[in-house]
A = this chain, B = another copy of it.
Amino acid sequence: MALRDELKKRDPFDLIEQEAALSIMRTSDLLENRFARLLREYDLTRSQYNVLRILRGEGRPMPCLEVAQRMIQVAPAITRVVDQLVNAELIVKTQSDSDRRVFLIDLTSRAKRVLKAVDVPLLELHRSLLSGVPKKDLKQVIAILQQIREGVSE
């Protein structure tokens, strides 16, 4: 179904740019929803999972703000997520010796187990959500969206 039908908009889009933007946001909502639903089964929110995933990818303790930057998030949001994760014993937070402003966070073994349990189902979800789309098209979307992001950041 075309986006303009989904939204039951009577007039055609004024601009193709507008249709593209709405299309991106609408699709993002759908995807986020699916991922959130899967992660909830593991008692994780998307933010929490992202923090864990970044830490694992980096393989070393990281400052909170460095994690935040990779998540395109503002510092205050990270603070709370970190608190939750510490509370859930999924990360540990220690003050850096070299710079006492910095707090380093690192995965616990429990977190590593959880991540491992989530890996396959999540990968399968990614695969199944986009399975109907040829890889060639996915590559193209990735390239064009990158172009959009570069334009927006300016």
Contact = CB atoms under 8 A, between A and B. Distances in A.
A65 to B, nearest CB: 14
A97 interface: no
A23 B130 contact: no
Copies in the complex: 2
Contacts of A117: none
A87 interface: no
A123 B18 contact: yes
B28 A142 contact: no
Contacts of A135: 16
A75 to B, nearest CB: 16
Interface of A: 1-3, 6-11, 14-21, 23-32, 34-35, 56-58, 70, 72, 119-120, 123, 126-127, 129-133, 135, 137-142, 144-153
